[in-house]
């Protein structure tokens, strides 16, 4: 998944690229991130980039687990 080119993306592409480059291992195959934030007009938005569908599914599951745990508190 890659939504770097979204029109409402207020973060610099260079910052998102650096973030992606800092994820995963050197051997590859496991790079990616989901970044949720409030943009410059106060709206919730997100930026994502994953190297493959496996990483995408793993991060999606992590978000789901985090939301479930937050609701249980």
Would you say residue 8 has pLDDT above 90?
no
Would you say residue 6 has pLDDT above 70?
no
Helices and strands: H and E segment counts in the chain: 2, 2
What does residue 13 show for φ and ψ, rounded to 5 degrees? -55, -35
Q: Which pLDDT value is given to residue 13?
A: 87
Q: How far apart are CA 39 and CA 10, in angstroms?
A: 6
Would you say residue 10 has pLDDT above 70?
yes
| Residue 1 pLDDT level (bands cut at 50, 70, 90) | low
What does pLDDT average to over the chain?
86
Q: Quick check: 32 and 59 in contact, CB under 8 A?
A: yes
Task: Output the pTM of the full model.
Answer: 0.77
Q: How far apart are CA 45 and CA 3, in angstroms?
A: 11
Q: Which pLDDT value is given to residue 69?
A: 87
The structural domains of the chain, with segments of one domain joined by +, span 13-71
């Amino acid at each position: 998944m890659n939504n770097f080119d979204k029109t409402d993306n207020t973060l610099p592409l260079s910052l998102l690229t650096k973030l992606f480059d800092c994820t995963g291992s050197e051997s590859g195959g496991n790079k990616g991130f989901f970044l949720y934030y409030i943009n410059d007009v106060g709206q919730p938005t997100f930026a994502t980039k994953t190297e493959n569908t496996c990483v995408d599914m793993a991060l999606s599951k992590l978000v789901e687990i985090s939301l479930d745990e937050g609701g249980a508190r």
